[in-house]
Amino acid sequence: MDLPRRPRRLRSDGVRPLVRETDLSASDLIAPVFVDATTDERRPIGSMPGHTRVPVDQAVERVREVRETGVEAVMVFGIPESKDAEGSRAWADDGVVQRAVGRITEETDAYVITDVCLCEYTEHGHCGVLEEGARDDPHMTVDNDRTLELLAETAASHAEAGADMVAPSSMTDGMVGAIRAELDERGFESLPVMSYAAKYESAFYGPFRDAADGAPAFGDRRHYQMDPANRREAAREVRLDVEEGADVLMVKPALPYLDVVADVRESFDHPVAAYNVSGEYAMLHAAAEKGWLDLEAVAHESLLSIKRAGADLILTYFAEDVAERL
């Protein structure tokens, strides 16, 4: 046959890696770390095999374990010792994240990012201060503007504890601008903000809510997280965060929203992050436990697809396992 173009010519073992378009490295990955102020020992997270909550006293040890795999960055989430209506332990000087971050930054060389939200700290589990009557009215939830001040205070407290980057995740309108202004006012103008710029109201978050005790006590988060049906809206959301001063733009979740990751990469010249969320992690583990999938292979392929779509950074529960094999 006369076939002048044969793509298989570039698929042999010798040339295949030379023409590979996308590479995944440990430095692309961010590992979540859960620090729990209510325990003095590690607690396994049942729906997320291989992951645990660690007490504050073991936060440094946990981060050192991450660094040994080659992963350079961690995202710290906190489970406080108490909760209230406003989530006041989120910005307390002696809060769980503040104490953990202080130790981690002092005793390790990890790059420390902190999640800035109130859902783990409020007794109602929503991502901010409730509107009056919200518990009884399904059309009401979080008071957007009253929440901004608390998010800014939380981010500043993380910066003062030693965080290298803060990552607001509440999808509160104006959150990036409020946080940027507060950080600048306190002398942290060089500290970057990674915004959860396009965060969807997804069914893939279930295991995380076990991990961080952050499930809503009533209702859902549809009034402030994005509709999974919407693609163009993501561009509007991301553009607003860019205008407010976001340094890194995150899409969450990752795998069901690779089109959005690609759109953000195409439209903005900022670094793009994607969150390979707990449900994505758990479903691959469940299928592997049934013998239906090769966990190592599908984990790597999943992260590779996120990188190929345009993500520069990937926040993933697979970070350590995949990094050790790269």
DSSP string, 108-144: ---EEEEEE-STTTBTT--SSPBPTTTTT-TT--B-H
Sorted by sequence, the CB contacts under 8 Å of residue 262 that are 6+ apart come out as: 309, 310
Q: Do residues 225 and 204 lie in contact, with contact meaning Cβ atoms separated by under 8 Å?
A: no
pLDDT of the residue at 87:
87
| Gap between the Cα atoms of 175 and 145, Å rounded | 9
pLDDT of the residue at 132:
73
pLDDT tens digits, 59-77: 999 999 999 999 999 999 9
Question: Burial of 155 by CB count in 10 Å (0-12 exposed, 13-18 middle, 19+ buried)?
Answer: buried
pLDDT tens digits, 232-245: 999 999 999 999 99
pLDDT of the residue at 211:
61
Q: Which of 83, 199, 290, 307 is catalytic?
A: 199
Q: Which residue has the higher pLDDT, 201 or 221?
A: 201
Indicate the average pLDDT of the chain.
92
pLDDT of the residue at 140:
60
Sorted by sequence, the CB contacts under 8 Å of residue 77 that are 6+ apart come out as: 32, 33, 34, 35, 97, 115, 120, 211, 212
Q: Which of 83, 252, 290, 307 is catalytic?
A: 252
Instruction: With cut-offs at 50, 70 and 90, classify the pLDDT of residue 224.
Output: confident
Please state, for a pLDDT cut of 70, what percent of the chain lies above it.
Answer: 93
pLDDT tens digits, 2-25: 888 999 999 999 999 999 999 999
Instruction: With cut-offs at 50, 70 and 90, classify the pLDDT of residue 123.
Output: confident
Please state, for a pLDDT cut of 90, what percent of the chain lies above it.
Answer: 78
pLDDT tens digits, 155-194: 999 999 999 999 999 889 999 999 999 999 999 999 999 9
Average pLDDT over residues 293-307: 97
Is the predicted pLDDT of residue 305 greater than 60, yes or no?
Answer: yes
pLDDT of the residue at 138:
65
Could you confirm whether 290 is annotated as catalytic?
no
pLDDT tens digits, 91-104: 999 999 999 999 99
Omega of the bond leading into 253 within 30 degrees of 0 (cis): yes
| Gap between the Cα atoms of 295 and 315, Å rounded | 18
Instruction: With cut-offs at 50, 70 and 90, classify the pLDDT of residue 219.
Output: low
Average pLDDT over residues 133-142: 67
Instruction: With cut-offs at 50, 70 and 90, classify the pLDDT of residue 117.
Output: very high
Q: Do residues 179 and 155 lie in contact, with contact meaning Cβ atoms separated by under 8 Å?
A: yes
